[in-house]
Amino acid sequence: MDLKVHNFHAWVNKSFLKMFKTCVLAAVAACLMAATAKPALATSLASCPALLNHSVDRLQDEKPQSLCQYTGKVILVVNTASFCGFTPQYKGLEALYSQYKDQGLVVLGFPSNDFSQEKGNNKEIAAFCESTFGVKFPMFTKTQVTGEGASPLFKELTAQSGQKPRWNFHKYLIGRNGKVIDQYSSMTGPDSKTLLTALEKALKAKP
């Protein structure tokens, strides 16, 4: 009987020791993963250009989105409106996005009522863009793009380009390095040769 008890205790101790070693190894592995992940995250944040280092809310659900996710892409930022003579440019912008997105282009739309032609709320704007023009490129909540109350992104776009939006569908082309290449008035449509030439050149450039 004593021998059986002794053997049982030995088995328990051996099993406990094995389990303890497994837990220690798992904890060490978790610590190592965390230690390597933090520098990677820091590097990612450090590589985000100042122009993109902003959080904005997605149009469809108003959830915060970091513009750093577009680091390394060619970006076309456009302030949009639903009731403007240039509103049909949505169709051309979506076509542009569809054609070049696999090469690294992203179009970012920012609805704005700065020129009194965007009266709807965010859900109404989202429904209009999707049902009327089939917009799939990223859109964000209604944004002030001019004046003292302009969003930080548009203040920086204005500072880098030397030109604030003069009307709806003003466009800013940003290179892979996160710097403004050029800006285009509402009169320059998405299919403009001037814009397309600059865009294609930017797509071929390295970050």
Q: Are 74 and 173 in contact (CB under 8 A)?
A: yes
Q: What is the 3-state secondary structure (H, E, C) of 8-38?
A: HHHHHHHHHHHHHHHHHHHHHHHHHHHHHHH
Residues 6+ away with beta carbon under 8 Å from 64: 55, 56, 57, 58
Please tell me the distance from the alpha carbon of residue 74 to that of residue 205, in angstroms, as a whole number.
Answer: 9
Specify whether 129 is catalytic.
no
Which among 23, 48, 84, 129 is annotated as catalytic? 84
The structure tokens 């009987």 sit at 1
Can you say whether residue 41 is alpha, beta or left, with left for phi > 0 and alpha for psi between -120 and 50 degrees? alpha
Q: Are 107 and 97 in contact (CB under 8 A)?
A: yes
Element (H, E) at 122: helix 122-133
Q: Strands, E, within 39-123: which ranges?
A: 55-57, 64-66, 74-80, 105-111
Residues 6+ away with beta carbon under 8 Å from 19: none
Catalytic residues: 84
